Amino acid sequence: MRDKKPILEEIVTILIHSDKSGRIILEHDFGKQVMIPFTGTVSGPYFSGKVLPNGVDTQEIRADGLKRVSARYFIETDDGEKIFIENNGIINENVEGERYFRTTPRFITASKKYLWLNTSIFIGTGERTENGLEISIYRVL
C-alpha cells in the first residue's frame, strides 16, 4: 500500500529578537562561525508563550554565502509548560535575491499536554520581517 502525500499543519510561529551586541564571530579562510543570542515570542493554534533568555543561534556562513543554522532554546507556554527546541536548517539566497530558509525543528517536553511534540516530524520556514525574524513551524501529517 502506498502512503498518502504528507499534509502540513501550522503549529506555531516564533518571532525572534536577536541581540546583536552579544554576537560572537570567528572569521576564517572558508567563511565564518557566528553565535547570536536571542529571545522572542511564540503564538499559534496549539500554544503561545515566550522564548526564554539564553537561546542561541549558531551559524556557519560559508564563503559562497550558504548559511547552516542551528538554534537551541527553551520556550515557556502561557500555561506554564517548558518546551526545548533544537532547530537546524539552511539559508540560501540565489542570484536573483530569492531566499530559501528551511529548518527541521525537534521538540522535547515533559508536559503531558504537549507530549505529541516529542513524536512528530516538523519543518519550518523563516522570513525576515520589520519586527524581527519570523519562524513558522508545521507538523508533517
Domains of the chain: 8-140 (2.40.160.20)
* Distance in angstroms (rounded) separating the CA atoms of residues 125 and 102: 5
Q: How confident is the model at residue 95 (pLDDT cuts 50, 70, 90)?
A: low
Grid cell 540560501 is found at 92
pLDDT tens-digit series, residues 27-66: 999 899 999 999 999 999 999 999 999 999 999 999 888 9
Q: For residue 84, what are the β-bridge partners?
A: 74, 108
Q: How confident is the model at residue 68 (pLDDT cuts 50, 70, 90)?
A: very high
Give percent above pLDDT 90 in the chain.
Answer: 85
What is the grid cell recorded at 139?
A: 507538523
pTM higher than 0.85, yes or no?
yes
Structural contact between residues 34 and 19, judged by C-beta atoms closer than 8 angstroms: no
